[in-house]
Each structure stands twice: as C-alpha cells, then as structure tokens.
Copies of this chain bind each other. A is one copy, B any other.
C-alpha cells in the first residue's frame, strides 16, 4: 500500500486536476456572468436614458404644439402621444430587464460564493490527506513498526474524508453547472423575449404615428397661418384711418393684397411639393438597412 500511496503523493494528483477543473468551471462562470451582469445593467441604464431623452422630446413637442395652429397642433400632439407610448413600453422593457435578467444574474454572486466555499473545504481536506501521507513517509523511513501502523490508520481516515468531500464537491459542481446552463438559457431567452416584445410594440405604435403624420393636412395649416397673418393685416385695416381715401400712398393694404396673391401662388407649389415629399418618405427602403459602413465605427 505504501507504494501506491506514495505514487499518488509524488505523481500529479488526479484529485487535484479534478478540483482544478471544477474550480475552472466556477471561476469561468463567475467571470463571464459577472461581465454579462454589468454589461446588461449598463445596457438597461442606457435604455432608461434613451427613454428619458425621448420623454423630454415628448414634452417639447407638446409645448411646441400649443404654439401652433389647430391642424399642426393636433398632429404633433398625436405624434407626441405615440412617442410617449413607445417610452411606456421602453419603461416596461427596463423594469422587466431588471426583474428577469439582472436580478437572476446578480443571484449568481451568492451561488458562486457557496460553491467556492465548498471547493475550499475540499482542498483543505485534500491538504490534510497530503500531510498525513508525508508523516507516514517519514515514519516509514525511520520504520518503528507500531508508530507506522498508527500513521497508516490516520492516512486511511484522511483518504476516506477526501473521498467523501471530493464526492460532495463533484455533486456540488455538477448541480452548479446544470443550474448555470438552465439559468443562462432562461435569462437570455427572457432577454430576447423582453426585447422582442418591446420592439414589436414599438413597430405597432410607430405605424400609427406614421399614419398620423401622413394624415396631416399641411395645406389647411398654411391657410390657417395665412388667415392669421391676414387677421393682423385685417386688424390694422379696421383701425380708424378715416383719411385713407385721401392718402393713396398708404402702403400696407397694397402689401396685404400682394402678399395674399403671393401666398396663393406658393400654396399651389406647396401642393405639388407635398405630393413628392410624401412619395420620398415612402421610398425609404425597408430592406438593406444593415450598416454597410459599420466597420468604420470601431
């Protein structure tokens, strides 16, 4: 038996490589899950900031709408509402990422700590066995038969301990790996689902927003604007300028008329351009959007 025991002390110990493999499994999980966690936390925070920025835009759009004529006001308000809806979905995305992706990833810290403690314990037991074997070796060289027998019993006990703890460690690491794979799949499936739902909702809401902008009657709005401007002219026309007839050079009623006719002409042009604008929007290709120049941005 001594030869066997010694060969195990002196050769690269198999139980060592086993523990090392288990340690690697845990260390790897710790490293990568830690990184996934911090990157996804950052991703979530940046999503929240995007939401905040869009919320500010919504606010400005509503403020702006209130300064505009009814037609544009209604359009911009509807558009702002849709944009706000997308941010509501983004908010739901953020909350769900926190609950279903970040929280379980954070739980890994505790789980890894426990597995690490188990490995440490196993290593301690192994070291104890080595010490017992070294003691035995020394005694064997000095060969007082009774003390050697005691040492051999002690070494055997250490072996049984190591057996038990290695067994326990193997179970622990196996359970850890299984949990890791399951959690990994679940967490990333949840991530994908959360993102997918958000993007699907965004498509839905933006489709409605696009329709809102398409339905915007620009011509009517321009007519409102011109009427308002004419209102200001009209307002001044209503002033008690009783001597107007005797003053043919009073400039602004003339200006008013010519501006009106200018506006009418521009209105016609606007109609044509409006058509072509609408076309150009629809011409934006829905395919082939993949960033061709993407390599440049790194």
Q: When the two chains form the complex, which single residue of B14, B92, B177, B228 contacts A252, counting CB atoms closer than 8 Å?
A: B14
Contact in complex: B235, A277 (CB < 8 Å): no
In the complex, what's the smallest C-beta–C-beta distance from A161 to chain B, in angstroms?
9
> Given the interface contacts A72-B181, A190-B284, A294-B88, does A170 sit within 8 Å of B236 by beta carbon?
no
Evaluate contact between B4 and A277: CB separation under 8 angstroms: no
A36 at the binding interface (Cβ < 8 Å): yes
Within 8 A of B (CB), among A6-22: 7-8, 11, 14-15, 17-18, 21-22
A–B pairs, 25, beta carbons within 8 Å: A1-B246, A4-B243, A4-B246, A7-B240, A11-B239, A18-B236, A21-B228, A28-B67, A36-B60, A39-B56, A39-B60, A43-B50, A43-B54, A95-B291, A96-B289, A160-B249, A162-B251, A166-B251, A170-B255, A171-B262, A182-B270, A189-B214, A193-B284, A194-B284, A199-B202
A163 and B252 contact, Cβ closer than 8 Å, known pairs A4-B243, A281-B190, A290-B89: yes
Q: Tell me whether A119 is interfacial, beta carbon within 8 Å.
A: no
A297 at interface by CB-CB < 8 Å? yes
Mark A residues whose CB is within 8 Å of B.
1, 3-5, 7-8, 11, 14-15, 17-18, 21-22, 25, 28, 32, 35-36, 39-40, 42-43, 46-47, 49-50, 53-54, 56-57, 60-61, 63-64, 67, 72, 75, 79, 85-86, 88-89, 91-96, 156, 159-160, 162-163, 166-167, 170-171, 173-175, 177-178, 181-182, 184-186, 188-190, 192-203, 206-207, 209-210, 213-214, 216, 218, 221-222, 225-226, 228-229, 232-233, 235-237, 239-241, 243-244, 246-247, 249-252, 254-255, 258-259, 262-263, 266, 270, 273-274, 277, 280-281, 284, 286, 289-291, 293-294, 297
Judged by DSSP, the binding face of A is: helix
Q: Is the CB of A284 within 8 A of B197?
A: yes
CA distance A96 to B79 in the complex (A): 20
Decide: A166 near B17, CB < 8 A? Known: A160-B249, A206-B196, A289-B92.
no
